[in-house]
Amino acid sequence: MSRSRRAKLQVFRVVTFVLLGAFFLGPIWFMFEFSTRGIGENSPRTLDAWKAIGTYPDLVAGIVASLELAVITSIGVLVVLVPTMVWVRLRLPRLRRVIESISLLPLTIPAIVLVVGFSPMYQWMGTNFSDSILTLSLAYAILVLPYAYRALDAGLAAIDVKTLSEAARSLGADWFTVMLRVIVPNISSALLNAGLLSVALVLGEYTIANNLLYPNLQVEIVSLARTNAGVSIAVAVASLLFAFVLLVALSFVGGQRGVRRRNRERLVQTFARDFSGGTR
Amino acid sequence: MVGGRRLSLDWIGAVPFLGYVALFLFLPTVIIIAGAFASEGGLTLSNFANLSRPYIISAIISSVILSAVTAAGGAVLGALLTYAIATGNPRGIFRRVLTSACGVLAQFGGVTLAFAFIAAIGPASALYVYLSQHHLDYYGSGVWLYDLRGLELVYLYFQIPLMVLIFLPAVDGIKPQWREATESLGGGTWTYWRHVAGPLLAPAFLGSTLLLFANSLSAYATAAALINQGGPILPLQISNAITSEVGLHEPGFAKAQAVVLIVIVAIVSGLYAVLQRRTARWLQ
Amino acid sequence: MTASVETTLRSGVEVRLEDLRRRYSGVTALDGLSLTMAPGELVCLLGPSGCGKTTALRLLAGLEEADGGRVLIGGEDVTNVPANKREIGMVFQAYSLFPHMTAMQNVAFGMQLHKVGPAERRKRAGDMLELVGLSAHVHKYASQLSGGQQQRVALARALAIEPKVLLLDEPLSALDARVRARLRDEIRRVQLEVGTTTLFVTHDQEEALAIADRVGVMNAGRIEQLGPPTTIYSRPATPFVAEFVGLTNRLPGVVKGGEVEVRGTRLPLVKPDSSDGAAIALVRPEAVTLASDGDMLPGPLIGTVIATVFLGATSRVTVDLGDITVLAQLPTSDAAALTAGTRVRLSLRKDPVLLARDETAPTEA
pLDDT digits (tens, 9 = 90+) for A117-150: 999 999 999 999 888 999 999 999 999 999 999 9
Fold annotation for B52-283 = MetI-like fold (1.10.3720)
State how far Cα A242 lies from the chain centre.
11
Give C273-333 as a DSSP string.
TPPSEEEEEEE-GGGEEEE--S-----TTEEEEEEEEE-SSEEEEEEE-SS-EEEEEEEHH
Instruction: Identify all chain C residues contacting A2, using CB atoms and an 8 Å cutoff.
Output: 65, 82
Helices (H), C18-164: 53-61, 103-113, 118-131, 147-160
Please tell me the distance in Å from C105's CA to the nearest CA on chain B.
11
Distance, CA of B227 to CA of B198 (rounded, Å): 39
Distance, CA of C244 to CA of C49 (rounded, Å): 12
Which residues are CB-contacts of C337 (< 8 A; sequence separation ≥ 6)? C292
Residue A166, pLDDT score = 87
Helices (H), A36-56: 48-51
The H or E element that residue C178 is part of is helix C177-194
Q: A221-259, pLDDT tens digit by residue?
A: 999 988 888 888 899 888 888 877 877 777 666 556 666
Q: Which residue in chain A is spatially nearest to C61 when comparing CA positions?
A: A1
Residue C10, pLDDT score = 55
Cβ of B111 within 8 Å of Cβ of A206? The answer is: yes
User: Hey, is the C-beta of B283 within 8 angstroms of any chain A C-beta?
Assistant: no
Residue A92, pLDDT score = 87
Instruction: For chain C, list the domains and their CATH numbers.
Output: 15-239 (3.40.50.300), 247-355 (2.40.50.100)
**Which string of b and e fits C219-232 if b means at least 16 CB within 10 Å?**
bebbbbbbbebeeb
State how far Cα C188 lies from the chain centre.
13
Please tell me the distance in Å from B180's CA to the nearest CA on chain C.
7
Identify the three-state secondary structure at position A44: coil
In chain B, pLDDT over 90 holds for what percent of residues? 51
Give C129-140 as a DSSP string.
HHHTT-GGGTT-
Please tell me the distance in Å from C113's CA to the nearest CA on chain A.
20
Residues in C lying within 8 Å of B, measured between beta carbons? 61-63, 82-90, 92-96, 98-100, 109-110, 113-114, 143, 154, 157-158, 161, 163, 167
Instruction: Identify all chain A residues contacting B126, using CB atoms and an 8 Å cutoff.
Output: 30, 33-34
Query: Does residue B90 or residue A14 have the better pLDDT?
Result: A14
Q: Which residue in chain C is spatially nearest to A3 when comparing CA positions?
A: C65
Residue C7, pLDDT score = 45
Q: Does the pLDDT value for residue B1 go beyond 50?
A: no
Q: B117-147, pLDDT tens digit by residue?
A: 999 998 888 889 889 888 888 888 888 898 8
Fold annotation for A53-271 = MetI-like fold (1.10.3720)
Cβ of B187 within 8 Å of Cβ of C113? The answer is: yes
Candidates C25, C55, C65, C86, partner chain A, best to mutate (most A CBs within 10 A): C65
Using CB atoms, which residue from B127, B218, B255 is nearest to A277? B218
Distance, CA of A246 to CA of A237 (rounded, Å): 14
Please tell me the distance in Å from A14's CA to the nearest CA on chain C.
21
The H or E element that residue C219 is part of is strand C214-219
Domains in chain A: boundaries: 53-271
Average confidence (pLDDT) over A172-196: 88
Q: Does the pLDDT value for residue B164 go beyond 90?
A: yes
Residue A254, pLDDT score = 55
- The band of A65, judged by pLDDT with boundaries at 50, 70 and 90, is very high
Please tell me the distance in Å from B185's CA to the nearest CA on chain C.
5
Instruction: Identify all chain C residues contacting A1, using CB atoms and an 8 Å cutoff.
Output: 63
Q: Does the pLDDT value for residue C235 go beyond 60?
A: yes
Distance, CA of A277 to CA of B261 (rounded, Å): 12
Q: A141-162, pLDDT tens digit by residue?
A: 999 999 999 989 988 988 888 8
| Chain B neighbors (3+ CB pairs < 8 Å) | A, C
User: Hey, is the C-beta of B164 within 8 angstroms of any chain A C-beta?
Assistant: no
Whether the predicted model's global pTM rises above the 0.95 cut: no
Q: C90-135, pLDDT tens digit by residue?
A: 999 988 999 999 999 999 999 999 999 999 999 999 999 999 999 9
Instruction: Identify all chain A residues contacting B269, using CB atoms and an 8 Å cutoff.
Output: 108, 273, 275
Distances (CA, A) of B127 to A35, A43, A229, B136, B225: 15, 17, 17, 10, 21
Distances (CA, A) of C224 to B130, B155, C69: 71, 62, 18
Q: Does the pLDDT value for residue B248 go beyond 70?
A: no
Cβ of A275 within 8 Å of Cβ of B214? The answer is: yes
**C107 neighbors C128 (Cβ within 8 angstroms):** yes
Identify the three-state secondary structure at position C77: strand
Instruction: Identify all chain C residues contacting A7, using CB atoms and an 8 Å cutoff.
Output: none
User: Hey, is the C-beta of B175 within 8 angstroms of any chain C C-beta?
Assistant: yes
Average confidence (pLDDT) over C228-250: 88
Using CB atoms, which residue from A13, A108, A279 is nearest to B87? A13
Q: Does the pLDDT value for residue A26 go beyond 90?
A: yes
Beta bridge partners of C266: C261
Global ipTM: 0.88
Q: Does the pLDDT value for residue B39 go beyond 80?
A: no
| Chain C neighbors (3+ CB pairs < 8 Å) | A, B
**C346 neighbors C328 (Cβ within 8 angstroms):** yes
CA dihedral A206→A212→A214→A218, nearest 10 degrees, is 10
Count of CB pairs separated by less than 8 Å, A with C: 4
**A72 neighbors A112 (Cβ within 8 angstroms):** no
Using CB atoms, which residue from A33, A211, A264 is nearest to B126? A33
State how far Cα A192 lies from the chain centre.
12
Please tell me the distance in Å from A217's CA to the nearest CA on chain B.
10
Q: C11-57, pLDDT tens digit by residue?
A: 689 999 999 999 988 888 999 999 999 999 999 999 998 899 999 99
Q: Does the pLDDT value for residue C363 go beyond 60?
A: no
Instruction: Identify all chain C residues contacting B183, using CB atoms and an 8 Å cutoff.
Output: 62-63, 82-84
Distance, CA of B105 to CA of B99 (rounded, Å): 10
Q: B170-191, pLDDT tens digit by residue?
A: 999 999 999 999 999 999 899 9
Residue A100, pLDDT score = 93
Using CB atoms, which residue from A5, A12, A243 is nearest to B84? A12
Distance, CA of B34 to CA of B23 (rounded, Å): 15
Q: Does the pLDDT value for residue A266 go beyond 90?
A: no
Distance, CA of C187 to CA of B5 (rounded, Å): 65
Q: Where are the beta strands (DSSP E) in B87-204?
A: none
Residue A267, pLDDT score = 72
Q: Which residue in chain C is spatially nearest to B187 when comparing CA positions?
A: C84
Using CB atoms, which residue from B28, B104, B220 is nearest to A244? B104
Which residue, among B173, B5, B199, B172, has the nearest Cα to B87 in the 3D structure? B172
Q: Does the pLDDT value for residue A215 go beyond 70?
A: yes
Count of CB pairs separated by less than 8 Å, B with C: 69
Using CB atoms, which residue from B29, B220, B257 is nearest to A111? B220
Terminal alpha carbon distance of chain B: 47
Residue C338, pLDDT score = 85
Residue C188, pLDDT score = 93
Q: Which residue in chain A is spatially nearest to C65 when comparing CA positions?
A: A2
User: Hey, is the C-beta of B193 within 8 angstroms of any chain A C-beta?
Assistant: no
Distance, CA of C242 to CA of C238 (rounded, Å): 6
**A69 neighbors A264 (Cβ within 8 angstroms):** no
Cβ of B100 within 8 Å of Cβ of A201? The answer is: no
Q: Which residue in chain C is spatially nearest to A6 when comparing CA positions?
A: C64
Residue C351, pLDDT score = 84
User: Hey, is the C-beta of B132 within 8 angstroms of any chain A C-beta?
Assistant: no
Using CB atoms, which residue from B14, B113, B258 is nearest to A113? B258
Residue C362, pLDDT score = 41
Which span out of A44-53, B227-236, C87-96 was modeled with the highest average pLDDT? C87-96
Query: Does residue A91 or residue A68 have the better pLDDT?
Result: A68
Cβ of A3 within 8 Å of Cβ of C65? The answer is: yes
Residue A251, pLDDT score = 67
Cβ of C92 within 8 Å of Cβ of B177? The answer is: yes
Candidates C59, C97, C102, C109, partner chain B, best to mutate (most B CBs within 10 A): C109
Long-range contacts of C315-324 (CB under 8 A, 24+ apart): C316/C247, C316/C285, C317/C290, C319/C290, C319/C344, C319/C346, C321/C263, C321/C346, C324/C251, C324/C252
Q: C157-201, pLDDT tens digit by residue?
A: 999 999 999 999 999 998 888 889 899 999 999 999 999 999 999
